[in-house]
Amino acid sequence: MNAILSPKQPLVVLNTDDIDVSMKIRYVGSQPSATVEVSAAGDILLKHGAVGSEVADTTIQIGSTAGTIDVSDAAGNTFAEVVDHINGSANWEAYLVGSLRADNSNASTGSLLVRSATTIAPKTDLSLFKDTSKVLEIAVRVGKRTSVTGSEAVAAAEIYKIVSTNTFGSGTNLIKVYEINEVAKTETLVYSLAGGATTVENTKDFVINGKGSLAVSKVGNHLLVKMVGSAACTGSLMVVGATATGL
């Protein structure tokens, strides 16, 4: 089974702080309403119930408080633990977008951006963003999601160009690409190279005479492009590529 890739196009452009999606979550339970909240520490509080009277969901608990995922707890300080716990509840589903399973969900002071209690309609995705001031990276997911938990069973992805500018001051700046298999829960680094100097736009173009690409995911997988700074990371990241669903 082969996926036919669409024409080369910018898939995502990240150029503003705090718009990098770390993960998405949805409510699939039987209650008419649900809320999601992220504290200043990065802890996630999930509630459900009657509209305006939602209560902590007791199927969710990492740490000492029902309905709460305490990301400073040893059982919840990686995104693998966070999404696996959420998906272990019959009431919720989650999948990672710009984070790896191995990434620290705590990052000392919390890596998710603060969010006040937000009501979401059942079976509707809600984005949880990275806090740019706490996370030393921004990332772009390249792939076509074909199920609510992120599986891309009949999809593939390809990357042609990465354009980045990182204001990191001093230290190192890296561009990394991972191939992600969400079913097998594997994350394989397929490319890593230094990006530009601080504040300098860097282009990695993998097309010569109309041919070539950096990476093509296996059907069923997707690619994740990360710009990583050792001391800070803020700026812009654009990925040009293609995604497709095969027949």
Residue 1 belongs to a domain: no
Residue 124 falls inside a structural domain: yes
Q: What residue numbers bound the domain in which 200 lies?
A: 9-19+135-245
Residues 142 and 177 in one domain: yes
Domain boundary among 129, 164, 183: 129
Q: Give the domain-ending residue among 90, 114, 129.
A: 129
Whole-angstrom Cα distance, residue 203 to residue 184? Answer: 32
Position 217 confidence tier, pLDDT thresholds 50, 70, 90: confident
Q: How many domains does the chain have?
A: 2
Is the separation of the CB atoms in 241 and 158 below 8 Å? yes
Which of 129, 160, 188 represents a domain boundary (last residue)? 129
- Establish if 213 belongs to a structural domain: yes
Query: Same domain for 38 and 112?
Result: yes
Q: Is 215 within the bounds of a domain?
A: yes
pLDDT surpassing 60 at residue 1: no
For the cut 60, the answer to whether the pLDDT of residue 119 exceeds it is yes
- Average pLDDT, stretch 214-220? 74
pLDDT in tens, 32-53: 999 999 999 999 999 999 999 9
Strands 55-56 and 235-245: unpaired
C-alpha 99: how far from chain center: 4
Whether residues 42 and 59 share a domain: the answer is yes
Contact predicate 240/10, CB 8 Å:
yes
Q: Is 158 left (phi over 0), alpha (psi -120 to 50) or beta?
A: beta
Q: Are residues 123 and 150 in the same domain?
A: no
- Report residue 222's pLDDT band, with 50, 70 and 90 as the boundaries: confident
Q: Is the pLDDT of residue 215 over 80?
A: no
For residue 3, is it within any domain? no
Look up tokens 């999930």; give the residue.
Answer: 46
Residues 14 and 39 both lie in one domain? no
The predicted-structure confidence for 62-84, as pLDDT tens digits, reads as follows: 999 999 999 999 999 999 999 99
Q: Are residues 148 and 93 in the same domain?
A: no
Question: Is residue 50 located within the same domain as residue 15?
Answer: no
Look up the pTM and report it: 0.88
